[in-house]
């Protein structure tokens, strides 16, 4: 029997839940991410959204924080972002 600590459980609602969405730097990627996230988290404060370009300029990283209401919300958001074909990674 090992004494490996359990991963911390998220308590919902979880304010300031961080999300980082990475995709190709094209076609208003920032706007696309914000619109998609607002469907699942209408209270998103877009003034706190940050965008970073990769060293080569090929990718954008859109970082934002939402009030996560539950696992189902996070799963649906992740699935919708990935299904778009525009998103490489959601962290």
Q: What is the pTM of this model?
A: 0.88
For 17-58, the pLDDT digits (tens) are: 999 999 999 989 999 999 999 999 999 999 999 999 999 999
Is position 42 within any domain?
yes
In CATH, what number is assigned to the domain containing residue 26? 3.30.70.260
The CA distance from 27 to 58, in Å, is 12
Is position 6 within any domain?
no
In terms of Cβ atoms closer than 10 Å to its own Cβ (0-12, 13-18, 19+), residue 34 is: middle
Count of domains for the chain: 1
Is position 1 within any domain?
no
Is position 3 within any domain?
no
pLDDT at 84 over 60: yes
Compute the mean pLDDT over every residue in the chain, rounded to the nearest whole number: 93
For 50-71, the pLDDT digits (tens) are: 999 999 999 999 999 999 999 9
86: DSSP letter: -
Strand order in the sheet with 59-68: 50-53, 59-68, 14-24, 87-90
């Amino acid at each position: 029997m090992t004494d490996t600590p359990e991963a911390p459980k998220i308590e919902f609602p979880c304010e300031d839940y961080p999300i980082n969405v990475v995709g190709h730097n094209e076609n208003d990627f920032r706007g696309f991410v914000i619109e998609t996230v607002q469907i699942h988290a209408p209270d998103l404060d877009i003034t706190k959204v940050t965008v970073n370009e990769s060293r080569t300029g090929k990718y954008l990283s859109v970082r934002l924080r939402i009030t996560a209401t539950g696992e189902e919300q996070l799963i649906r958001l992740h699935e919708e972002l990935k299904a778009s074909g525009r998103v490489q990674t959601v962290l």
